[in-house]
Amino acid sequence: MNDDQHVVLCVDDEENILRSLKRSLRKEGYRLLTASGGKEGLKLLRENNVHLVISDQRMPEMSGTEFLARVKEEYPDVIRVCLTGYTEVDSITESINKGHIYKFLLKPWNDQNLQLEIRQALEQYDLIKANKMLHERVLEQNEELTRINVNLETMVQERTSELEIKNHALELSHAILEDLANAIIGVSAEGMIVLVNRGAQALSLNEKAVEVGKNISHYFPENLKEKLDDVLKTNVPQTLKNYTLSDKTCNVALTPLSGRFQGKGIVVTIN
């Protein structure tokens, strides 16, 4: 069976009524099922994915309204239509008000009207089903969004904690660097001074105070600049012992940066 094909169940204790219903609806493209009473109709509902039920009102053992009330209880999505005579209209009004019946059709019916009513009823079924699926999809997406937000919040909290630890470590590192007795100068690969600690700030090199943003050539002789370039290329530390710097003899250690900063700068330590 085509999954898109509507299944219509016709329930009536008179065989000629069932034949008339089948004849009226056979060109509509539905899969038609028939039952001679409510008990058999419920059995077919259990065995098939029925979309719409047409039931006669006056049947032995179980009336149409009683049968359709059971259908409403057990298969609430199924559209329920009752066939009735003029004299029975008042008896099914309560069932309509209670929602047991979607619509009632009077006997004898007009084939074109019957076809139109059933077509519209099934369109209503498809619309309700589509809205239900959309609602379920929205609920699923909301649950997924909630889960993502919870995970994101956890990740943000973890990342914030990690950054706080790193910032604290960085502040402590700067404090330690500032308090070192040796003069520390950070130099980029381009020769620009990017860091000076308190010891370096106290120096007077080439009769100038060492400042961040200046080029190393403002303070150091050309031969030291050549040593810096050599350390950058080879990535091998060098120590210049008894090096004369601004009429003072000192040891100068040139230490290249490592890891992801390799080749991007050097730490100059003056003792």
- Helix then strand then coil, % of the chain, to nearest 5: 50, 25, 25
Q: What is the pLDDT of residue 186?
A: 85
The partner residues of 270 in beta bridges, in order of sequence, read: 183, 252
Q: Which residues contact 161 (CB under 8 A, 6 or more apart)?
A: none
Q: Look at residues 206, 214, 207 and name the one whose alpha carbon lies nearest to residue 185.
A: 214
Q: Look at residues 92, 68, 78 and name the one whose alpha carbon lies nearest to residue 121.
A: 78
Q: How many CA atoms lie within 13 A of 212 on its CB side?
A: 7
- Angle CA 4–9–12, to nearest 5: 165
What single-letter DSSP state applies at residue 57? S
Q: Would you give per-residue pLDDT tens digits along the chain (271 residues)? A: 556 789 999 999 999 999 999 999 988 989 999 999 999 999 999 999 999 999 998 888 888 889 999 999 999 999 999 888 766 666 677 677 776 788 888 888 889 999 999 999 999 899 988 998 988 888 888 888 888 888 888 888 888 888 888 788 777 777 777 777 788 888 888 888 888 888 777 777 777 788 888 888 887 777 778 888 888 888 888 888 888 777 778 888 888 888 888 888 888 888 8
Pairing status of strand 79-84 against strand 103-106: parallel
Q: Is 63 helix (H, G, I), strand (E, B) or coil?
A: coil
Are 196 and 211 within 8 A, CB to CB?
A: yes
Task: Give the predicted TM-score (pTM) of the model.
Answer: 0.54
Q: How many CA atoms lie within 13 A of 75 on its CB side?
A: 23
| Domains along the sequence of the chain with CATH | 7-135 (3.40.50.2300), 177-270 (3.30.450.20)
Four-point Cα dihedral 174, 179, 184, 187, nearest 10: 20
Q: What is the pLDDT of residue 9?
A: 96
Q: What is the pLDDT of residue 116?
A: 93
Are 125 and 102 within 8 A, CB to CB?
A: no
Q: Which residues contact 224 (CB under 8 A, 6 or more apart)?
A: 216, 240, 243, 252
Are 219 and 210 within 8 A, CB to CB?
A: yes
Q: Is 65 exposed, middle or buried (0-12, 13-18, 19+ CB in 10 A)?
A: buried
Distance between CA atoms of 135 and 130, rounded to whole angstroms? 9
Q: What is the pLDDT of residue 8?
A: 94
